[in-house]
Amino acid sequence: MRRAILSVSDKTGLVNFARGLLQRGFELVSTGGTGRTLTDAGLPVVNVSDVTGFPEMMDGRVKTLHPHIHGGILARRSHAEDLEKARTHGIGLVDVVCVNLYPFVQTAATPGIAFHELIENIDIGGPSLVRAAAKNFQDVLVVVNPTDYMSVLAALDRDGGPTPAFRFDLSRRAFAHTGAYDSAIATTLREITVDDSTFTRVTPNDTVPLAPPQLTIEARKLRDLRYGENPHQPAAWYAFEPPAGLGAATILQGKELSFTNLLDLDAAARIVMEFAEPAACVIKHTNPCGAATGDRIVEAYTRARDADALAAFGGIVGLNRPVDELTARALVSTFIEAVVAPAVLPDAAAILQAKANMRIVTADFAALANAGVHAREWRSILGALLLQQRDEVEEAKMPWPADNLKVVSQRQPSADEWHALRFAWRVMAHVKSNAVIFTDRHQTRAMGAGQVSRVDAVKVATMKASGWDASKTRPLEGTV
């Protein structure tokens, strides 16, 4: 009789999978919680303790770490000596290992989780089972994801059994699963500080090292993208675990998001997160063509749009307040590619649906801020990665109040000009250098971005201010 070991934290589809294995002549061997789930469903199960001859011990820390388990997994069917050793020591061979691991990532994401709970959610036996089965993939099917249950049963029904390619694919995914698990543990433990015998978890904006000696980057693919920056470049969208920021965004409507859409949505969110008051911006090619604040979000949006209405056509809009009815009407009055906002109110959603192709994305802006302010930022260069802390304009690091600033002009700025400078300071951090912006206290008036010299940046900004026709001229008098 063939043997399957089942030990899972995620019980999704478990009973049906186990029933399918029984129907195909498998004996089921299982551990505590998994075994109870199966017996409660009326399925015959052999407890792992009956195989090892040892009870589960040390609060469940030791269950499957035994030669009668691992020998049965690692024995190579093509090696007569392995099979002879198994017979000599009474080790039954294992044909299927179905394991998913303690939910460490979910536990680590729990606010205020105690250190000892983190440690107890580090799985030891599970990864050992998975790695053993993945190593001996030619003889053992390793299953780590409930989405694979049906394909495994189908492969077992195939004439000749599962193909080598199918077995190897499961093995690769199993090693990726344990690798991601270990990476999550290492990442979380970097957030632990030790004072004598006290272990304290700190938030990423406290004392977590920005650049530890070794880093493992693990992410989950959300979806393939149509292409990258250009049509000949394949691309995909990934999220770190647990998902946060745009990795946890909700797409409410619109055409499929593109690679450049996502870059622009990120740029838009970063700008409007700088402001406590209602704020909006319009992005083109990761640069703002307009940014503004207002008493209401519709006022902020119309100011941002009108700061450069020509460039705003086909842009990406960022809002730091929910989209209300008035703002929705303003958004559909012109061509906008995509919008990112904390939420969309029901009346606004009905209006936005009139522009079915407009991409509407909502994201938790508190989570966006946590994912951004002190997050690492990566750049790839040929054969290497560069790492820096993300550049965000934190209030505590701004050079205000004015007493901290040295005025080098012939007169002191007025109160309005100081307000305009604070506004400009926040926006300017997100404009590609060399850059010059002219603003009043609520709205950008003209921008010159991404120029090879500051003189060119000034020329572009003043050219933009002059407008493409006389009615669109934006006077710069009184701006900073």
| Nearest to 450, CA basis, from 435, 429, 471, 468 | 435
pLDDT above 90 as % of the chain: 42
pLDDT in tens, 94-136: 999 999 887 787 777 777 777 777 888 787 888 999 999 999 9
pLDDT-derived band at 89, boundaries 50, 70, 90: confident
391 by DSSP, 3-state: which? coil
Does pLDDT of 187 surpass 80? no
Residue 264 and residue 283 in contact, taking contact as beta carbons nearer than 8 Å: yes
Average the pLDDT over 312-321 and give the result: 95
Does pLDDT of 335 surpass 80? yes
The Cα-based distances of 453 to 141, 283, 401, 407, 425 in angstroms read 61, 22, 30, 24, 20
244-371 CATH: 3.40.140.20
Domain ranges of the chain: 2-193, 244-371, 393-428+431-472
Query: Is the domain 2-193 a CATH 3.40.50.1380 member?
Result: yes
Q: Is the dihedral of CA 371, 375, 379, 383 positive or negative?
A: negative
Number of Cβ within 10 Å of residue 258's Cβ equals 19
What was the pLDDT predicted at 180? 83
Per-chain mean pLDDT for the chain: 85
Residue 272 and residue 319 in contact, taking contact as beta carbons nearer than 8 Å: yes
65 by DSSP, 3-state: which? coil
What was the pLDDT predicted at 373? 42
Min mean pLDDT across 25-29, 39-43, 332-336, 437-441 is at: 437-441
Average the pLDDT over 75-100 and give the result: 89
- The answer to whether the 2-193 and 393-428+431-472 domains have the same CATH topology is no
The residues carrying an active-site annotation are 135, 285
Cα separation, 130 vs 135, in Å, equals 8
The Cα-based distances of 436 to 406, 415, 444, 465 in angstroms read 20, 21, 11, 12
Q: Is the dihedral of CA 251, 226, 290, 350 positive or negative?
A: negative
Spatial CB neighbours of 119, under 8 Å, sequence gap ≥ 6:
none
User: Between these two residues, 204 and 194, which has the higher pLDDT value?
Assistant: 194
Q: Which CATH superfamily is domain 393-428+431-472 in?
A: AICAR transformylase, duplication domain (3.40.140.20)
Cα separation, 9 vs 172, in Å, equals 21
Cα–chain center distance at 138 = 34
pLDDT in tens, 146-165: 999 999 999 999 988 899 99
Cα–chain center distance at 120 = 25
Strands 444-448 and 436-439: antiparallel
Cα separation, 456 vs 451, in Å, equals 6
pTM above 0.85, yes or no: no
Number of Cβ within 10 Å of residue 440's Cβ equals 19
Average the pLDDT over 169-185 and give the result: 88
pLDDT-derived band at 193, boundaries 50, 70, 90: low
DSSP H or E stretch at residue 272: helix 259-272
Which two structure tokens, joined as six digits, stand for 83? 């099979």
**Would you tell me the crossing angle of helices 325-332 and 297-306 to the nearest 10 degrees?**
20
